[in-house]
A = this chain, B = another copy of it.
Amino acid sequence: MFGAVAIIGLGLLGGSTGLAVQEYLPGVHTTGYDADPATRERARARGLVAQVCETAAEAVAGADLVVFCVPVGAMGAAAREVAGHLKPGVLVSDVGSSKQTVLSSLSEALPGVAIIPAHPVAGTENSGPDAGFASLFGRRWCIVTPPDDANPILLTKLVQFWEGLGAHVELMNPQHHDLVLAVTSHVPHLIAYTIVGTASDLEEVTQSEVIKYSAGGFRDFTRIAASDPTMWRDVFLSNRDAVLEILQRFTEDLTALQRSIRNGEGDRLFDHFTRTRAIRRSIIEQGQDDARPDFGRSDHNGQG
C-alpha cells in the first residue's frame, strides 16, 4: 500500500478522499493542498487531511500517490504546479468524471511520470470543503482507466487503495468510460440543468409554483441540477464528443415520444413506459438505490 497520499483540491471529492483514507487506511499519511486559501482553512478546521500545505509542491513532496481532485479543466494547470517536485516512483491519479482528456492533460504536464486515472462514481449535490464525508465511496463503483503501458504493480496498488476506501473497482479503457458516463451521468445532468432552467424562465408559471409542486417529479431533477457549476462546465467541454453523440440519440427518442403524444398513440407510450420499469428494478436489486417510497425522505419529515 502507498505510505503517503497527497490530495490536490479539497472540495467534496478531495475532502471525502482525505477523510476516508484517515478512517479506513489509518497507516497512510495524508497531505493536501487547495488553491483557495479559504478552502485550506476549512480543510484544516475539519481535518480533511493530516497536513494541509501552503503549496502544491510541498504537499506532493513525500507522496507515493498524488490524487488530483480538481475540475477536469484544471487538471493540466494543477499538474504543472507539481512538475519537478514529485518523488521518484510516484503514481499520479485523479477523480475526474471524464478520462480521455484527463489522461492527455496529465501526461502532457508530467512527462515520464506514471499516470493512471480513476473515477469514483459517487457524489452529492453539495460541493466545497464542508461537503465531504468518509463514507462517500462505500459500496460505490470506482472506474480505473489504465493506459496500455500502465505499470501493473502501481495499478494493483491503486485498485487496492480504492477498495480500501470501500469502493468496488472496475477497469475500463478511457474511451469506453467516457461513453458510459456520458449516458449514465453527463447527459442526465445536462437534461436536468436544462429543464430546471426552462421552468424558471416560464412567464405563465411563477418560481414559487415550480418550487411548491416540485414533489411531482421536478425535484429529482433539481438535485442533480444543483451540482458544482465549474465541475460540470468542465465535464461537458472535456467529454464533448460522447455527450453530443448521446444527446443526439436522446433528442431523436424524445421527438418520437412527442409525436406519439401529438398523434394520440397511447399503445406506443404504454409500451415505452413499461420497458423502462425493468431497468429501475435492476438498479434496486443491485443495491445502487433505495426502494423505499420517497427514498426514506419521510424519516425526518413528520407525517409525509
Contacts and interface: CB of A to CB of B under 8 A. Distances in A.
Interface of A: 73, 97, 121-126, 131, 133, 135-141, 143, 166, 170, 176, 179-181, 183-202, 204-205, 207, 209-227, 229-230, 232-234, 236-237, 240, 243-244, 246-247, 249-251, 253-254, 257-258, 261-262, 264, 266, 269-270, 272-277, 279-283, 286-290, 293-304
7 contacts: A121-B216, A184-B209, A214-B288, A227-B273, A229-B274, A240-B264, A244-B261
Contacts of A229: 269-270, 273-274, 277
A212 B300 contact: no
A298 B213 contact: no
B236 A269 contact: yes
Given A210-B279, A222-B280, A276-B196, A215 B254 contact: no
A302 B253 contact: no
B220 A221 contact: yes
Contacts of A221: 188, 220
Contacts of A258: 244, 247
Contacts of A205: 179-180, 183
Most chain B C-beta atoms within 10 Å of own C-beta, residue among A137, A179, A227, A294: A294
